[in-house]
Amino acid sequence: MSAPFDLPQLDDVVALALAEDLGVSPARFSRGVRAAEPAEAPLLLQDVTTAAVLPREARFAGRVVAREACVACGLPVLARVYEMLTDAAGVEPVEVFPLVAEGADVSAGEPVAEVSGEARAVLAGERVALDFLMVLSGIATAARRWQEAAGEGVAVCDTRKTYPGLRALSKYAVRIGGGTNHRQGLWDMLLVKDNHIAAAGSLARAVELAREAHPDLALEVEADTPAQAAEACREGADIVLLDNMDDATLAEAVARVREAAGERGRPCLTEASGGVGFERLAAIAAAGVDRVSSSALTLAPPADFGLDEG
């Protein structure tokens, strides 16, 4: 299966996870380096329980099964975990065959992939492979739930609040679930917040400095009041972030931004953020915002999966 995004980046994350579980250096999983076939695979001996109980010739065939209804996400990552593990251990590849498409809605008890190979290798990679699948499926499930509740007229976006090291994968899962990625990091979009405004002396000056430094990047400005939202639009923001506003204030801010955008002759998107809970989505959408952003997507509880033999 193809990787969900840039393969070297995926490999770095998988290497760290495998190294953590097996108690070795991440360098053991360097891309493109396959261990020589050993008489006994030393890396797999790091799973001390399995190595003690199962002979090397033992085989495993089973299925990865959803324990709850969710959006399946992370099947390419599950496969890559086993590719990297068996390459590093110098043993035959574990076969991973997906039974559903990436992003499919699955029900409790539904198998999503078949896994077979040397039992020591399958069990040594089981936890890491399932953890990625669980975390990413939980995020994709939340993204789909939120986007469906918000409706087609509102884009549900993630934020930079992700578990460290898992941002690219987390944002991939948001896309699989039907959500929209906000900026990837501090480098790919301008976002002028209250601290920047205070440091620059005014909203206008902060926007001016940001535009001068990076004229080709999209510019978003955080606003706390409808008046500040309108000012941000007039000063040239592409997006105005309406922060921690109640429903009535939000509707007023959207109207003020639209009026200002009409005066300047160029559209300006509005984004609701802060205090945005799932139960508020309908009201927020009714206020007319273009986007909603929440950390509830990337910090969603994992979906439950298990690996069942047979």
Q: Where in the chain is the domain with CATH 3.20.20.70?
A: 189-293
pLDDT at 30: 80
Question: Using H for helix, E for strand and C for coil, what is the string for the chain?
Answer: CCCCCCHHHHHHHHHHHHHHHHCCCHHHHCCCCCCCCCCCCCCHHHCHHHHHHCCCCCEEEEEEEECCCEECCCHHHHHHHHHHHHHHHCCCCCEEEECCCCCCEECCCCEEEEEEEEHHHHHHHHHHHHHHHHHHHHHHHHHHHHHHHHCCCCEEECCCCCCCCCHHHHHHHHHHHCCECCCCCCCCCEEECHHHHHHHCCHHHHHHHHHHHCCCCCEEEEECCHHHHHHHHHCCCCEEEEECCCHHHHHHHHHHHHHHHHHHCCCCEEEEECCCCHHHHHHHHHCCCCEEECCCCCCCCCCCEEEEEC
Helix 226-234 vs helix 247-264: crossing angle, to nearest 10: 20
33 or 235: which leads in pLDDT? 235
Catalytic residue at 171?
A: no
Reported as a single tens digit per residue, the pLDDT across 261-273 is 999 999 999 999 9
Residue 289 has pLDDT above 60, yes or no: yes
pLDDT at 34: 55
The active-site residue, picked from 243, 271, 280, 291, is 243
pLDDT at 37: 46
The active-site residue, picked from 59, 67, 193, 264, is 193
CATH 3.40.50.10490 fits 189-293, yes or no: no
Entry pTM = 0.94
Per-residue pLDDT band at 6 (split at 50, 70, 90): low
The active-site residue, picked from 21, 68, 110, 161, is 161
Q: Is the dihedral of CA 174, 178, 182, 183 positive or negative?
A: positive
| Torsion angle of C-alpha atoms 155, 158, 159, 160, degrees rounded to 10 | -140
Catalytic residue at 127?
A: yes
Residue 89 has pLDDT above 90, yes or no: yes
The active-site residue, picked from 102, 131, 222, 252, is 222
Reported as a single tens digit per residue, the pLDDT across 33-81 is 555 545 455 899 999 999 999 999 999 999 999 999 999 999 999 999 9
Catalytic residue at 271?
A: no
Of the listed ranges 33-37, 101-105, 176-180, the least confidently predicted one is: 33-37
pLDDT at 91: 93
Q: Where in the chain is the domain with CATH 3.90.1170.20?
A: 7-141+301-309
pLDDT at 39: 46
Q: Distance between CA atoms of 219 and 238, rounded to whole angstroms?
A: 5
Catalytic residue at 243?
A: yes
Catalytic residue at 224?
A: no
Residue 17 has pLDDT above 50, yes or no: yes
Per-residue pLDDT band at 4 (split at 50, 70, 90): low
Q: Distance between CA atoms of 137 and 117, rounded to whole angstroms?
A: 24
Nearest to 275, CA basis, from 260, 298, 295, 300: 295
Residue 100 has pLDDT above 80, yes or no: yes
CATH 3.90.1170.20 fits 7-141+301-309, yes or no: yes
Q: Distance between CA atoms of 278 and 215, rounded to whole angstroms?
A: 35
pLDDT at 275: 86
pLDDT at 32: 56
